[in-house]
Amino acid sequence: METITVEVWLYGPLARYGGQAAGKNHANLQLELPPGSRIQDLLEHLSLPTEERGITFINGNLSAMPGLQPDLDHPLDDGDRVAFFHLKSMWPYQYRDGAALAPDMARAMAQEKKLFHHHSNR
- Residues 4-35: tens digit of each pLDDT: 999 999 999 999 999 888 888 999 999 999 99
Question: What is the CATH classification number for the domain harbouring 84?
Answer: 3.10.20.30
| This prediction's pTM | 0.80
Provide block-wise average pLDDT over 10 residues at a time, the chain (122 residues): 95 93 90 97 97 93 90 97 88 61 77 55 44
Residue type, 2: E
DSSP 20-55: GGB-SSEEEEEEEE-TT-BHHHHHHHHT--GGGEEE
User: Where in the sequence is the domain holding 61, given as residue range(s)?
Assistant: 4-120
Instruction: Assess contact for 18 and 45: CB atoms under 8 A.
Output: no
Instruction: Assess contact for 91 and 55: CB atoms under 8 A.
Output: yes
The proportion of the chain whose per-residue pLDDT surpasses 90, expressed as a percent, equals 60
List, in sequence order, every residue forming a beta bridge with 119; answer none if it has no partner: none
Number of domains in the chain: 1
At residue 117, the pLDDT reads 47
CA gap 76, 79 in Å, rounded = 9
Three-class DSSP category at 75: strand
